[in-house]
Amino acid sequence: GENVEQHPSTLSVQEGDSAVIKCTYSDSASNYFPWYKQELGKRPQLIIDIRSNVGEKKDQRIAVTLNKTAKHFSLHITETQPEDSAVYFCAASPAGGTSYGKLTFGQGTILTVHP
């Protein structure tokens, strides 16, 4: 089955700095890669996603890059703000069949943005 490794497990930055979280996956059949943000005491919510036919996707201060050859993808947050503090999870998903929608998550990264 799919295995997703996420690094670092904790990340501490100053407000205004950039933050990068990296994930690697094992199954070359995976073709959908979402990122979820979970604020303290809240449920995870999708913040951005990318498909394997795209190398990069950006949404305001967040961006995701994908390297299919190397089987890794990264989340980039620029101009970090205290409200970006949360746990971030990457995930990978295969295409089609009865497994459609099944996500394998990384271990999570606790991001702390200091004012």
Q: How far is the CB of 49 from another protein (least distance, A)?
A: 7
Asked if 61 and 49 count as a contact pair (C-beta separation under 8 A), the reply is no
Q: How far is the CB of 30 from another protein (least distance, A)?
A: 12
Stretch that binds another protein, among 13-21, 56-64, 66-74, 105-113 (CB under 8 A): 105-113
Residue 108 zone, left/alpha/beta (φ > 0; ψ -120 to 50; rest): left
The footprint of another protein on this chain (CB under 8 A) covers a number of residues equal to: 24
Stretch that binds another protein, among 13-21, 57-65, 71-79, 102-110 (CB under 8 A): 102-110
54 binds another protein (CB under 8 A): no
Strand ranges, E, within 1-115: 4-7, 10-14, 19-25, 30-38, 45-51, 56-59, 62-67, 72-77, 86-94, 104-105, 109-114
Give the contact letters, 9-48, x = binds to another protein (CB under 8 A), - = no: x----------------------x-x--------xxxx--
Stretch that binds another protein, among 12-20, 63-71, 78-86, 98-106 (CB under 8 A): 98-106
Under 8 Å CB-to-CB from 63, ≥6 apart: which residues?
48, 56, 57, 75, 76, 78
